[in-house]
Amino acid sequence: MQWRRRHCCTHTANFLYLLSLLGLLVFLVHLHKLTGMPWWRGHPVVYGGEHHTTKAKLNTSASAWRFVIVPLLTSRVDANISSPEEEGVSSPRGHSRFENTLAGNTSHSVEGDLSGTITQGPFTYIINEPAKCADSRPAPFLVLLIATEARQVEARNAIRQTWGNESVAPALGFIRLFLLGKNEGELGLLQQRMLEAESRRYHDIIQQDFLDTYKNLTFKTLMGINWVAIHCPQAGYVMKTDSDMFVNTENLIYKLLRPEQQLKKNYFTGNNMRDFAPNRNTNSKWYMSPELYPGEKYPTFCSGTGYVFSGDLAMKLYRASLRIRILHLEDVFVGVCLANLRIEPTPPPNEFLFNHWRVSYSSCKYSHLITSHGFHPNELLKYWNHLQSNKHNACINRSRAGRPHVNRTNKRTAQ
């Protein structure tokens, strides 16, 4: 009898042990489906600030990232971001899909491009301002490249009246350009007619023949960089930013770039995103597939909400982009191009200058920062005008205002 009880208990224990193993296996499989990555690698750092490393590691030389750069050989560009039908990815005029690489869609080879001139890229211009830089006297100290959409008319008008007003630094040469793709359908045709009328009035719009979607933001940025390289190679500095940003252009020019100093070379700065890992969650807006980017860490890049680089880098960045497979995360892609050039982004003088989140407004805080994110056009007009009227005594009530408060939501809007 005792033997039977022991035998029964042994079978019961073995059964419970096997059941627990089965439960653990089910849990791990479910975890893999949720995270989109093998369970043994842990959760990746979430791009965009949902989770990030709490302490940045020491700067790593750009050469250390060479192993994650995927050469642009015979792969199709549209393979990077699914199909045009699924993701709204456009193709050059007259083609239903990309049939060649980005380099193959230009009129020159990559090798020829490295030693010669470059063309406008794989997309044709719908609206262009090729003489805008040439008409500027003196040569532009700063070119603003502002990513926007056709429907954002109020935002463009607010920028023209505030931080994008070319009279901010007329003696230095200061020009703005709004970057756009195209829209389809009847609404797209109506928006296009309005956009062309707006272009005739302000001459500050460039547009190419790719669909204006979030997934195509990299093409939009490359269009702006390419425009500077071809039409404005003498520019001192370039800033790429978005249409929902507040940019203190006076601080940018006179406190960061300093016209009285010699122009910097190979200079790139902004809100440095260091030690970030690809997001492997397939449900995330910032998902990056291991096939597209196999590395476990991105090279240092700067938030696409606002970064600044020396004019000499425009040609170098565009040439580098022809050697690298396109990534749909624009700021990450630019960071990979910099790593390919072995250029490490320069940290700004202080971390409060470039903010990819919304900073609560006070004239004191805004007199010291360069960028703040998440503005409606009416807010932009209100705060810019208030800052201009108070900039000489912006911090007179600083003792009552207390320490600057930052709303670190870390959320980006699709452009």
Give the chain's domains with CATH numbers.
62-340 (3.90.550), 358-407 (no CATH)
For residue 39, what pLDDT is reported?
30
Cα 355 to the center of its chain, rounded Å = 13
Per DSSP, the three-state class of 335 is helix
pLDDT for the residue numbered 22 = 62
* pLDDT at residue 171, rounded to an integer: 86
Supply the pLDDT for residue 159: 98
pTM over 0.75: no
Q: For residue 370, what pLDDT is reported?
A: 97
Pairing of strands 142-147, 237-242: parallel
Enter the tokens of residue 21: 């193993």
User: Cβ-count burial of 186 within 10 angstroms (0-12 exposed, 13-18 middle, 19+ buried)?
Assistant: exposed
Q: Tokens 């240092």 identify what position?
A: 300
Residue 143 host element (H or E): strand 142-147
Find how far residue 163's CA is from the centre of its chain. 20
30 alpha carbon, distance to own chain's centre: 33
Give the Cα separation of 385 and 391 in Å (integer): 10
Residues of the chain with pLDDT below 50 are: 1-3, 29-115, 399-415
With contact defined as beta carbons under 8 Å apart, do 51 and 43 qualify? yes
CB-CB neighbours of 304 under 10 Å: 26
Note the helical H segments in 125-184.
Answer: 153-161
pLDDT of residue 121: 86
Residue with tokens 């009279």, as numbered in its chain: 167
CB atoms within 10 A of CB 380: 24
